[in-house]
Amino acid sequence: MGYRRSCAEMIEAAFQALPETQRDLVTKEFQLSLGSHIYVDAFKKAGWKDRLNAVEIRGFWSARGVSFPSPDEWAQKNGLSEPVVLKSQIEELEAEIKKPVVSVKPI
């Protein structure tokens, strides 16, 4: 969630740096690139921070020169475990949870 929020902040900064007339054009261009009214409606409600269209939004702005860090780079920069490490830890915990419970009755 922090990664997505960080990318959204970068996008918002790039968007605000555009002249106002260009902002309208860029917004319309992005909306036209979306495949369904569901996606357009979600974007209209949440703007560039929209979760449903987050991947498409990053791709759109990437094509316009905004450079996003990879999730691993972002995690390292913010002092967090890398996503691959976290996934491994989660898998270990899930395996531990799935082990059968052995109960011993006192004599």
Q: Give me the domain span that covers residue 44.
A: 2-62
Note the pLDDT of residue 97. Answer: 77
In a domain, 41, yes or no: yes
* Per-residue DSSP letter, 73: H
Token pair listed for 7: 């990318």
In a domain, 22, yes or no: yes
Note the pLDDT of residue 88. Answer: 67
Q: Which residues of the chain have pLDDT under 70?
A: 1, 80-90, 101-104, 107
Note the pLDDT of residue 92. Answer: 76
**What separation in angstroms does the CA of 10 have from each of 4, 25, 52, 92, 107?**
10, 19, 18, 34, 65
In a domain, 92, yes or no: no
In a domain, 94, yes or no: no
How many domains are contained in the chain?
Answer: 1
Q: Of 103, 105, 92, 5, which is closest to residue 54 (Cα–Cα)? A: 5
In a domain, 74, yes or no: no
In a domain, 30, yes or no: yes
Note the pLDDT of residue 89. Answer: 64
In a domain, 71, yes or no: no
In a domain, 97, yes or no: no
Note the pLDDT of residue 80. Answer: 64
Token pair listed for 92: 């270990």
